[in-house]
């Protein structure tokens, strides 16, 4: 642990707000969230996991049975309920920023951190999993790159901080993230 991290730890409950991780699928939101939790004992909320548990259904099945809009409504409902928390890392689904209302909810008590990665990196991270309905039939670098471009403006507009994750360890990403948050104080 470096000096900065020690300072953060000495603050007891270090963040009196939530850290909201946004970004395209495969940019490392869940991994970074787990790392922040391990480093600082922060609570975490994995949005997709909570939604799947609440609905007792996988994300693919929610999309297949009820459609994307229904899933987006569940995201809005969940985010709205999280603003009363603090010192929690909220790992959002990659499409949560597509609704302005969701971004407004994130910002009520959170600093929004955008994680980015190149289409090639994203592809390498998602290629072996089938649990992302939005990438069904689009699991290739060209389509990922196109979808990323379509969403770029929304991601960037929502973000208080942007951190590129390409060629960095998860530890390095967490350290950069905490450093940047401390600088904002």
The nearer residue to ligand S3P, 25 or 35, going by C-beta atoms, is 25
| 72-91: contacts with ligand S3P (CB under 6 A) | none
Among 93, 102, 105, 173, binds ligand S3P (CB under 6 A): 93
Q: Report how far Cα 42 is from the mean position of its chain's Cα atoms.
A: 15
User: How many whole angstroms separate alpha carbon 31 and alpha carbon 115?
Assistant: 11
Interface with ligand S3P, residue 94, by CB under 6 A: yes
72: exposed, middle or buried (Cβ count in 10 Å: 0-12, 13-18, 19+): middle
Interface with ligand S3P, residue 113, by CB under 6 A: no
User: In angstroms, what is the C-alpha Rg of the chain?
Assistant: 16
The nearer residue to ligand S3P, 13 or 53, going by C-beta atoms, is 53
Helix (H, G, I), strand (E, B) or coil at 114: strand
Paired tokens of 4: 């900065």
Q: Given the structure tokens 């922040």, which residue do they identify? A: 36
Q: For ligand S3P, how many residues bind (rule: CB under 6 A)?
A: 10
Interface with ligand S3P, residue 25, by CB under 6 A: yes
Interface with ligand S3P, residue 48, by CB under 6 A: yes
Interface residues with ligand S3P (CB under 6 A) are: 25, 29, 48, 59, 93-95, 132-134
């Amino acid at each position: 642990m470096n000096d900065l991290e020690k300072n953060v730890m000495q603050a007891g409950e270090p963040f009196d707000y939530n850290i909201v991780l946004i970004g395209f699928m495969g940019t490392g939101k869940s991994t970074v969230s787990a790392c922040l939790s391990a480093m600082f004992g922060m609570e975490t909320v994995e949005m997709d996991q909570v939604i799947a548990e609440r609905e007792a259904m996988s994300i693919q099945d929610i999309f297949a049975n009820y459609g994307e809009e229904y899933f987006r409504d569940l995201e809005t409902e969940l985010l709205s309920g999280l603003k009363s928390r603090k010192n929690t890392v909220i790992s959002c689904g990659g499409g949560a920023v597509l609704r302005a209302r969701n971004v407004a909810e994130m910002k009520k008590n959170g600093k929004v951190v955008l994680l980015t990665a190149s289409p090639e990196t994203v592809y390498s991270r998602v290629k072996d999993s089938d649990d992302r309905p939005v990438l069904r039939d689009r699991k290739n670098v060209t389509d990922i790159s196109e979808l990323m471009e379509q969403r770029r403006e929304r991601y960037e507009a929502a973000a208080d901080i942007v951190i590129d994750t390409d060629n960095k360890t998860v530890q390095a990403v967490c350290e950069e993230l905490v450093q940047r948050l401390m600088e904002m104080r």
